Structure 1
Amino acid sequence: MFATWRRRLAFAAVVLAIAAGGYFVLRPQPVPADFETVARGDVVVTVNGEGVTRIADLFVVSSPLAGRAMRSLLEVGDAVTAGKTVVAAIRPTPPDFLNARDRRVAEARVRAAEAAERLAAAELARVGAELEFARNDLDRAEQLSKTNTVSVRELDRARLLVATKEAELASAKANLAVRGEELETARAVLIEPESGLPDAKPGGECCVLIYAPQSGQVLNILHKSESVVAAGAPLMEIGDPTNLELVVDLLSADAVRVKVGNRATIARWGGEKDLNAVVRRIEPTGFTKVSSLGIEEQRVRVILDFTDPPIARAALGHDFRVFARIEISRAVNVVRVPLSALFRVGNDWAAFVVEQGRAARKTVQLGLRNTRHAEIRSGLAQGDTVIVHPGDRIADGVEVEPRAP
């Protein structure tokens, strides 16, 4: 009898142990999740885009005439002073070669100019002789007028003749000078191009010197070696690297949200700290740009000015790549949650709040939001614990626990 009861008690204990083990194994386990505490902070909405730096006042030095540009003695990065530093020297283009017909015409013009010069010299000699005769005649008339041998009219006529001949002499001298210059012009046509250019250095009398229009640094030398250039050909770019501005290409849909005076943060420029800037101008025209995916996009250039001192961006130069975040709106010291804690329920936004170890779904009303945080206007309070990145195992009322690190 006693042995029977012992077997029954042992069997009951085994059954209870199996039931307890089954319950322990099959009971619902808390779902591990990532928790985040709702706190206050700023929510800043930005428009982001890549851009480049550029010198605000970039000067392109061009050749004022056609000729041969001498080899530049400057290097990229050299400092120049406005009106003092010679940045280029241009040797004017020598005259063209003459063919047989043009040469004969030019030689004939030289002979004609020589003959005209001789004719002008003979005319000068004639007028000089007549003037000498008129002066002698005037001297005689003045002597005779003292004895009233010659009338006053005759004396005045002699004086008029002298004055007339003096004027004719001046005209003959001027005519001879003109003929001489015409002869030099005709002879200049016969000057042959030089078979070889002599050594020429900036500062020599052979060349037209071009001085720096602005103090700064040499940014680019378009013609380093000696070369033939046309009038107006660009030779060098000069600018002040401390006077930088930013050019950011934004999608036209984003550009319409940007206003002049908006603050911006400049990142990914290579420095340890982000830089600050402000929008100065939004260009009124757009342009088409093909993206890396082959999609045509309408973009607008936005110009920004740095607000940090030049020493903070001393390493930046012309045409450096940067990444700009332009602020378009800001909510200060508001209740905010990570954007990863929010999800859609129909047309509403919702989040899971941890209450007594269980997930409770709460509908929330949002304000501003960016890529990291969203402003909460109702539905959550500061200090609430929300679940970020909720998976499909989390639902309203499910027991949750913090995920092990």
Structure 2
Amino acid sequence: MEKAQSLAPKRILSGLVVAGMAGALLWALLPKPIDVDIATVSRAPLRVTIDDEGKTRIRDVYVITAPIAGTVRRTPLKAGDTVVKGETIVATIVPPPPAFRDFRTSLELESQVKSCEANVQLADAELRQVTAEFQLAKSDYERAQSLASKGITTQAALQKAETQYKTREASIARAKAALEVRKRELENARIRQLGPEQPLVRQATESACSFDVKSPESGRVLKIVAQSEQTLSIGAPVLEIGDPANLEIVVDLLSAETVKIRPGATATIEAWGGQPLNAHVSTIEPSGFTKISALGIEEQRVKTILTIDDPADVWQRLGHDYRVFVKINAYASANVRLVPLGALFRRDNQWALFAVKGGRAAVLSVTLGQRNATYAEVLDGLADGDQVILHPSDRVIDGVRVRPRTLDN
């Protein structure tokens, strides 16, 4: 009897040990809660912006072009120099020198000179001939006048002599004019013989035929296209001028994003090298264009123009064609229910997320409104204070136990 009583505590202790070991084994085999990042649904302000890169642009850029074909001299102007309307000479253009000729053309021009010289000699001989005939007709006319005054000759003979006289006189005028024409033809033929290898030709051309182009508007030189002396065709650009104080921002937005904004929408200009600037949308062009993205995808873009609202002295360091980053406000609300975008995923063509209900993950479908790059507006499916799982892994499924991730776990 005493022996049985002494064995009872030992059996109880052994049973407790076995039960503890079985419980520990069961606990080890049970699935552990998954550590997750949790966020709480709350109300806060929401601002939705359309973000894209843009470039600054002077509103009125004047491209100075060559009004005539010729050689533009090297300009003393530099980019940034100030020009005055109607006063500053921005370019000086001279006609190009005569083109070089081949041997055959030189022979043809020399032959033309000799032909013109012969024509001059022929015209001179004709002038001498008609002069002699004129002197004879003049003598006959004077003689007929003398005889007619004495009544020796008839009136018809006098008229004939007078006609001959006037005819020969007109022939002299015609011969002199023909001689002058032949001389000018000879002069033109000799001028055509002049080539670019003769320095007098170039000097005479530059001194007598240079054309000064003056600035059409006051401003500053933006870019010099023809810096050094070179030959230009008609309409070739020489330089560009504009007023840096009259600056605007041009952004090529996706057409799907452009329809979300209207002229007058506020915007912020960032990443230009200074503090963010305030601006507003002034113009949305009515037509779009196709642009190839960096990934080779065709995109329909629309040029959107913004006006800077801050004073010019704040952004005076900005210039023409500078890169900026634009954020255009498309939507703003002071009090909406927000959920982080990291908690959302697509399921059955709907937005869904994992909410924490009683320590377990529960899949919920939600209806979203506006959203930006960080948060989305929840219209239906969640209440304020609900907890959602951020960036759920493939281990998180409906009904699995979860626990908030801390520094300890």
Structure 1 residue 90 displacement after superposition: 1.4
Determine if the alignment matches structure 1 residue 216 to structure 2 residue 219: yes
2:253 to 250, 254, 258: 250
Question: In the alignment, which of 343, 346, 358 is matched to residue 345 of structure 2?
Answer: 343
Query: How high is the TM-score relative to the length of structure 1?
Result: 0.69
Distance 1:112 1:334 in 2: 105
Cross-structure match for 2:95: 92
After TM superposition, give the deviation of residue 296 of structure 1 in Å: 3.1
Which one-letter code corresponds to 1:235 in the other structure?
V
Counterpart-to-counterpart distance in 2, 1:240 and 1:232: 23
Q: Contact (CA 8 Å) 1:106, 1:190: kept in 2 or not? A: no
Match of 1:296 in 2: 298
The yes-or-no answer on 1:313 pairing with 2:323 is no
In the aligned structure 2, how far is the partner of 1:197 from the partner of 1:270? 55
Q: Which moved more, 1:239-248 or 1:42-51?
A: 42-51
Given that 2:272 and 2:325 are in contact with CA atoms closer than 8 Å, whether structure 1 keeps it comes out as no
Q: Deviations over 1:20-76 (max 9, x none)?
A: 422443344332111223233333344443333222111111122222211111222
Contact 1:107 1:190 in 2 (8 A): no
Match of 2:139 in 1: none
Unpaired runs of 5+ residues, structure 2, are 101-105, 125-179
* Alignment correspondent of 1:41: 44
Match 1:374 to one of 373, 376, 379 = 376
Amino acid at match of 2:47: V
Aligned to 1:124: none
Opposite residue 30 of structure 1, the aligned amino acid is P
Question: 1:303 and 1:314 mapped to 2: Cα distance?
Answer: 19
SS in 2 for 1:4: helix
3-state SS of 1:318 partner = coil
Q: Distance in 1 between matches of 2:372 and 2:248?
A: 27
User: CA 1:197–1:404 in 2, change beyond 3 Å: closer, same or farther?
Assistant: farther
- Tell me the TM-score normalized by structure 2: 0.68
SS in 1 for 2:392: coil
Tell me the residue number matched to 1:54. 57
CA RMSD of aligned residues (A): 4.0
CA contact (8 A) 1:354 1:385 kept: yes
1:270–1:322 Cα change, 3 Å = closer
**Contact 2:253 2:303 (8 Å CA) reproduced:** yes
Contact 1:91 1:208 in 2 (8 A): yes
| Distance (Å, rounded) in 2 between the aligned partners of 1:383 and 1:311 | 47
**Preserved CA contact (<8 Å) 1:331 1:368:** no
Q: Distance in 2 between matches of 1:223 and 1:358?
A: 73
Indicate which of 80, 83, 88 corresponds to 2:86. 83
Counterpart code for 2:33 = P
Amino acid at match of 2:231: V
- Are 2:276 and 1:274 aligned? yes
What do residues 304-335 of structure 1 show as CA deviations (whole Å, max 9, x unaligned)? 22233333433432223333333333333212
1:400/1:18 Cα in 2 relative to 1: closer, same or farther (>3 Å)? same
Distance 1:308 1:112 in 2: 83
Aligned residues: 340
Deviation at 1:262, TM superposition (A): 2.8
Q: Alpha-carbon deviations, 1:230-261, whole Å to 9, x = none?
A: 23221111122232222222333433444333
User: Which has the higher mean CA deviation after the structures are superposed, 306-315 or 188-197?
Assistant: 188-197
Please report how far the alpha carbon of residue 7 of structure 1 lies from its aligned counterpart in structure 2 after TM superposition: 3.9
Letter in 2 for 1:74: L
Between the aligned partners of 2:116 and 2:280, the Cα distance in structure 1 is 67
Shift of 1:220: 1.8
* Alignment CA distance shift 1:5-1:48 (3 Å): same
Counterpart-to-counterpart distance in 2, 1:218 and 1:325: 30
> Relative to structure 1, is the Cα distance of residues 397 and 370 closer, same or farther in structure 2, using a 3 angstrom cutoff?
same
- The answer on 1:387 being equivalent to 2:397 is no
Where in structure 2 are the equivalents of 1:194-233 lying within 5 Å?
195-196=198-199, 207-233=210-236
- Which residue in 2 is equivalent to 1:152? none
2:199 match: secondary structure: coil
Aligned residues of 2:37 and 2:405 also touching (Cα < 8 A): yes
How far residue 185 of structure 1 moved from its aligned partner, in angstroms, is 11
For 1:282, the aligned partner's letter is I
Which aligned pairs between 1:97-246 and structure 2 lie closer than 5 A? 99-100=109-110, 103=113, 191=191, 192=194, 195-196=198-199, 207-246=210-249
2:57 and 2:118 map into 1 onto residues whose CA distance is: 59
Q: CA deviation at 1:372?
A: 2.0
